[in-house]
Structure 1
């Protein structure tokens, strides 16, 4: 199945829109200009628009030839926020705002969904409804959860929802999807070890929290190596250590912070429990006091098997079976997970090209074109492929009334 010619013909115009969004990045829950651009285009194409879900979210509604009378509906989601980082690129569409950058390709995700929206609205060659979900605050803000709490699935009843992310390092023209966990849960912890400070030359008169904190750091790693089933996966990373102000002063306390990643809630429950036990036990044994806080952020992103199989079949028809890969689960996190907790669906991937791909424009930074890297840029040649996939996925899903 070739790319949809009409989408290919409009690709340059959509790419220009993508570059405009890239040049004006907005952080989580601040996507006012981006939402306005999206809403204006949808309205221009005759698509009813609803604003303000999850503060800055946008939902467009495309009814099929039956005007949505059959009641079947699916959602297609694109995230639209940028990252709080400085862009290293100097091309014409580089960020015009210091400390803000579309370093994850959300501008490209918006562009692919807009291109699909334009085609779906122009033809409406399906029965049912497609909800176009432009979500704020994926980068740590939990925008998916905010949209759900504002009534996304009650005001716009849908039976399934799909999302897609570009993937640097995956060859251009390739796509990927797999059933089950594809991204991990994201969680934060904070540990404070409280002792009694004093002169570093008289350690017998103090309760030194530094070696106790070191014991805790090492002990936490035994949870994964000795408490977790070898066939399961989990990551415990201590990423911040704060303690002390002078080389000859033992501090009163040391604070540790870090992240935990898992693919299942059961594993997460076990890790949190064991962390708490180890911290309390080690500190008690050394005469210290402790404080332990554990915050669960994004849940694991788990694809439903039927929806993943459907997405794979559509991909294979578009790019060929040899270009459709199994998506290896990654310990990065994605708040589309909240939507998949409420609705069956799948999170899909589209190759952004190799690191030194030809899409790297003059003025591209010298670093690798990786997600969350100052030299990253979305590959505009993906727009026709991603949009074609969205259109064909919607048609295929809505064509089967037993789903």
Structure 2
């Protein structure tokens, strides 16, 4: 079947894929709590005749399918299951039914697209040889579900020669793809600094207190010099503050004895990562000393940079190009400073990663991931499924 015929063939699946995607959207589950979602995925895969294993990294699901053509290679295709702690905009027809949780990153769509591919390949086992492992991963959003799947021996139980991931991207036109070889997404680190002083009365005893808010304020400003003055201009790095906490709103006349600043750091180069951790601690302790306070610094290296390899990326490009043409596949896009725990799988096995365009809204605005207005674009479900199928045929098909 020609690639364009494949997309047309998958249109027969579209109503079911939309129904699955919106059902998952209505019932969001955050990391390692995706019991309903995992059960839905496992039930559909078994109904289509795949071998299914549940409970990997708590709520992960892996299904395998063998093709009938000659071949012994195996590849893994990964989608993520979890939602986020975000309150969705009201009055969306298929909106979240769980207060404070929503699929704000499109993992509902990722899951539906991979399910569509699994169904088609199960119905067309003569289109490939070897084995495909369909990996449905929990807890991508900050909790390291990919790391846990690897640590629990997933690739020992389900050996693959290469593993592939895909993520939607608002703002990229629907029907287009972006990928690159090498560093694609950034390392993601979380840091925390707590400044401690004596505190005191903000009105009558300010001169008697050691004020922890002063080093905090200076630290937040000085923090920005790490990227502007310590990191080489040719390198990429980001340091951002995400939380500031101290004192009690009910006692505005009290200088708090302890304030805490928490944030994120992103980089690609290991030496830059080392530098950011070093300078963040140095700046925090120096500012604390100036104001007679102490600083407690933690720096947690969470996700490594996502690094793709040349041969698998070439297969990704070939699959996408076969579907939409060369003019709609950017093969050397700029790296993103977002992060992905698919990076742990790429540390364990060679592989590729691709962005699929999620398009824009009807008024041409863009609702980015991790925002209350975001929603996955159902119009790209069949294209995403077709990409996975074409990738399998590229890697494991008769002409592979």
The two structures share one fold, judged by TM-score above 0.5? yes
SS in 2 for 1:258: strand
Pairwise CA distance, 1:259:
1.1
Pairwise CA distance, 1:100:
2.0
Separation in structure 1 between the aligned mates of residue 87 and residue 254 of structure 2, nearest angstrom: 37
| 1:92 corresponds to 2:93 | yes
| 1:185 corresponds to 2:176 | no
In the other structure, the counterpart of 1:351 is: 357
Change (3 A) 1:210 1:99: closer
| 1:81 corresponds to 2:79 | no
Task: Give the conservation status (yes or no) of the 8 Å contact 1:180–1:305.
Answer: yes
In the other structure, the counterpart of 1:20 is: 23
Task: Give the conservation status (yes or no) of the 8 Å contact 2:219–2:287.
Answer: yes
Task: Give the conservation status (yes or no) of the 8 Å contact 1:59–1:131.
Answer: yes
Separation in structure 2 between the aligned mates of residue 182 and residue 118 of structure 1, nearest angstrom: 30
In the other structure, the counterpart of 1:121 is: 122
In the other structure, the counterpart of 1:293 is: 298
SS in 2 for 1:290: strand
Change (3 A) 1:263 1:390: same
Separation in structure 2 between the aligned mates of residue 276 and residue 10 of structure 1, nearest angstrom: 54
Which moves more between the two structures, 367-376 or 345-354? 367-376
Change (3 A) 1:399 1:213: same
Task: Give the conservation status (yes or no) of the 8 Å contact 1:190–1:294.
Answer: yes
Separation in structure 1 between the aligned mates of residue 116 and residue 63 of structure 2, nearest angstrom: 13
Separation in structure 1 between the aligned mates of residue 352 and residue 84 of structure 2, nearest angstrom: 24
In the other structure, the counterpart of 1:237 is: 240
SS in 1 for 2:128: coil
SS in 1 for 2:54: strand
- Select 1:224's aligned residue among 224, 227, 238: 227
Pairwise CA distance, 1:357:
6.6
| 1:330 corresponds to 2:336 | yes
Pairwise CA distance, 1:198:
2.8
| 1:175 corresponds to 2:151 | no
Change (3 A) 1:250 1:99: closer
Separation in structure 2 between the aligned mates of residue 286 and residue 94 of structure 1, nearest angstrom: 49
Change (3 A) 1:329 1:355: farther
Deviations 1:224-247 (A, max 9, x none): 111111111111112222234444
Separation in structure 2 between the aligned mates of residue 86 and residue 242 of structure 1, nearest angstrom: 22
Q: CA RMSD in A?
A: 2.1
Number of aligned positions between the proteins: 392
Deviations 1:178-213 (A, max 9, x none): 112222222111111222223445554332222222
In the other structure, the counterpart of 2:138 is: 136
Which moves more between the two structures, 132-141 or 234-243? 234-243
In the other structure, the counterpart of 1:55 is: 58
Please list every run of 5 or more consecutive structure 1 residues that lacks an aligned counterpart in the other structure: 359-366
Change (3 A) 1:197 1:37: closer
Task: Give the conservation status (yes or no) of the 8 Å contact 2:184–2:335.
Answer: yes
| 1:373 corresponds to 2:377 | no
Please list every run of 5 or more consecutive structure 2 residues that lacks an aligned counterpart in the other structure: none
TM-score norm. by structure 2 comes to 0.92
Task: Give the conservation status (yes or no) of the 8 Å contact 1:79–1:106.
Answer: yes
Change (3 A) 1:147 1:357: farther
Deviations 1:143-196 (A, max 9, x none): 111111222111000111111111111111111111122222221111112222
Change (3 A) 1:73 1:401: farther
| Segments ≥4 residues shifted beyond 6 Å | none
- Select 1:153's aligned residue among 146, 152, 155: 155
In the other structure, the counterpart of 2:266 is: 261
In the other structure, the counterpart of 2:72 is: 71
Deviations 1:361-387 (A, max 9, x none): xxxxxx953212222221112122111
